[in-house]
């Protein structure tokens, strides 16, 4: 009998939902007013949120503890920054990393008057040993590297004062796959944990069937086997150091 990698599935149709006239948010883990005993954070990954903003709309979120926030546009572009600061515009095939101090207010805005935008914002706890704020822009291109998980690479610091030499306690990869294409993802460290989120299509990951907007947390493994079960299937993988204290 083949031993299955330890893990937990978070079904997309069981995510917490919050909706107003301005926005709609789906939360894989408990977040804000959404509290669920079985949807606790996965290690230092505190939140996996899918946000939709109407044309010209904006939303603010309070940050209670120091957090790395990763913003990945799915459609359109989004302006993001701390309240009272000049926001940065992030487009599709870019990822914005913003280190947000405890007690801050995070601000998202839709730059289009009449178009709806959708983006992910992932929250990762900042280790106590971290020094300084980070404000970085990353890029990726799944079209040029199909059927594999492509690591999201830094292109420029958004602010000159950013500490570009700081080592991040996580790695983000994104892949677009054709049907029945397979890949083997090897973790940078065998002690790391990994969380996968399906943006589009369906996958089989370590013997588990994942549909669109499903998430899968895995631990105690050095590699992850993936197979796309549909065309234009897209998955995001976040590898996290097991300990960030």
pLDDT score, position 245: 40
Q: What is the CA radius of gyration of the chain?
A: 17
pLDDT score, position 160: 41
∠ CA 234-236-240 to the nearest 5 degrees? 165
pLDDT score, position 128: 67
Domains and CATH numbers, the chain: 7-240 (2.60.120.10)
CB of 58 within 8 A of CB of 22? yes
Report pTM: 0.92
pLDDT score, position 190: 82
**Sites in the chain below the pLDDT cut of 50:** 1, 157, 159-162, 244-245
DSSP alpha helix (H) spans, the chain: none
pLDDT score, position 162: 47
The two beta strands, 23-27 and 16-19, are antiparallel
Q: Is 244 helix (H, G, I), strand (E, B) or coil?
A: coil
Q: Rounded CA gap, 51 and 108, in Å?
A: 10
Q: Is 197 left (phi over 0), alpha (psi -120 to 50) or beta?
A: beta
pLDDT score, position 58: 96
Provide CB contacts within 8 A for 24, sequence distance 6+: 17, 18, 51, 52
What DSSP string describes 178-216? Answer: -TT-EEEEEPSSTT-EEEEEEEES-EEETTEEE-TT-EE
pLDDT score, position 217: 98
Q: Which of 10, 32, 233 is nearest to 121 (CA)?
A: 32
pLDDT score, position 211: 98
pLDDT score, position 204: 98
CB of 233 within 8 A of CB of 158? no
Q: Computed from CA positions of residues 27, 31, 36, 38, in that sequence, does the dihedral angle turn out positive or negative?
A: positive
pLDDT score, position 155: 58
Distances (CA, A) of 128 to 85, 101, 102: 25, 12, 12
Q: Which of 97, 89, 91 is nearest to 124 (CA)?
A: 97
The DSSP 8-state label assigned to residue 117 in this structure reads: E
């Amino acid at each position: 009998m083949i031993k299955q990698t330890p893990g937990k599935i978070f079904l997309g149709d069981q995510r917490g939902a919050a909706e107003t006239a301005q926005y709609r948010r789906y939360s894989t883990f408990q977040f804000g007013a959404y509290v669920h005993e079985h949807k606790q954070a996965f290690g230092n990954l505190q939140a996996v949120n899918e946000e939709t903003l109407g044309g010209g709309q904006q939303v603010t979120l309070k940050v209670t503890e120091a957090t790395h926030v990763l913003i990945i546009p799915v459609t359109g572009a989004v302006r993001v920054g701390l309240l009272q600061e000049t926001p940065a515009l992030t487009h599709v095939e870019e990822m914005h990393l913003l280190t947000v101090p405890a007690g801050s207010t995070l601000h998202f805005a839709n730059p289009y008057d009449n178009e709806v935008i959708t983006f992910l914002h992932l929250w990762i706890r900042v280790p106590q040993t971290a020094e300084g704020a980070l404000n970085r822009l990353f890029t990726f291109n799944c079209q040029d590297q199909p059927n594999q998980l492509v690591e999201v690479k830094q292109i420029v610091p958004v602010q000159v004062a950013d500490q570009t030499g700081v080592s991040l306690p996580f790695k983000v990869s994104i892949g677009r796959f054709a049907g029945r294409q397979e890949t083997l993802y090897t973790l940078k460290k065998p002690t790391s944990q990994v969380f996968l989120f399906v943006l589009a299509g369906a996958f089989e990951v370590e013997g588990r069937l994942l549909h669109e907007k499903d998430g899968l947390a895995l631990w105690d493994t050095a590699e992850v086997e993936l197979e796309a079960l549909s065309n234009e299937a897209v998955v995001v993988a976040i590898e996290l150091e097991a300990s960030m204290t």
